Amino acid sequence: MIIRLNGPETIYVDGVHPIDFRAGQEAELPERIAAVLLTEGRASLPAAAKANLIGAPENKAAIEGAAPGRRHGRKAKR
């Protein structure tokens, strides 16, 4: 997972090898490490990752305006 670090960090990979990061640097880290840094507020998502989570406006309009049951290609419950 790619994250942007808010401050300088030293992260130990495999508990042995230290890697130093600068503030504002983007890094690709394992999801378990990225989740901890994001939860503690020590990192944030880069703009590209935020755009992927939010989705493109044309995709959102199609999902929000879809008929019931058609959002996931399944029949509506009756």
Question: pLDDT (tens digit, 9 = 90+) per residue, 50-60?
Answer: 776 666 565 55
Can you give the pLDDT at residue 53? 67
Among residues 3, 48, 6, 47, the alpha carbon closest in space to that of 26 is found at 3
Ramachandran region, residue 64 (left: φ > 0; alpha: ψ -120 to 50; beta: rest):
alpha
User: b vs e for 56-76, b when ≥16 Cβ sit within 10 Å of the residue's Cβ?
Assistant: eeeeeeeeeeeeeeeeeeeee
What lies within 8 Å, CB to CB, of 67 at 6+ separation is: 76
Can you give the pLDDT at residue 15? 76
The per-residue pLDDT string of the chain (78 residues; one tens digit each, 9 = 90 and over) reads: 889 999 999 988 777 889 899 999 998 888 888 899 999 999 998 887 777 666 656 555 544 555 555 555 566 666
